Amino acid sequence: MPICNDCKMVSEIGVVCSQACLDAIKAFQDRVKDDVPSPKRPWLSRGAIRGISAVVILFAIAYAVLCFQSRSLLSLDDVLERLSHWGRFLSTYF
């Protein structure tokens, strides 16, 4: 809706049609000025990613050692069996 030069009010906010409109805009701006959106948090934190990476690297090293000892590629069942054997061995001494 156009506003003629005789009716418009120029304020620090901009051009408005009346004092009531200006008051409504100021009230709205006061109400929402503190509504700052919170920053989005990543699904996983950097610490969690580092921890997962460390576990994956440790499993890869253990798999490489097991494959080197057996001189062949091992299946998941073979790896789990050997790791459980190591776990039983270590638990008897520690």
Do 83 and 50 lie in one domain? The reply is yes
Q: What average pLDDT does range 80-90 have in this prediction? A: 79
Residue 1, pLDDT score: 57
Instruction: Tell me the sheet residues that pair with 10.
Output: 15
Do 50 and 27 lie in one domain? The reply is no
Q: Which domain holds residue 28?
A: 1-33
Q: What average pLDDT does range 14-26 have in this prediction? A: 86
Q: Is residue 40 part of a domain?
A: no
Residue 2, pLDDT score: 67
The number of distinct structural domains making up the chain is: 2
Q: What average pLDDT does range 68-81 have in this prediction? A: 85
- Spell out where the chain has E strands: 9-10, 15-16
Q: Is residue 13 part of a domain?
A: yes
pTM assigned to the model:
0.44
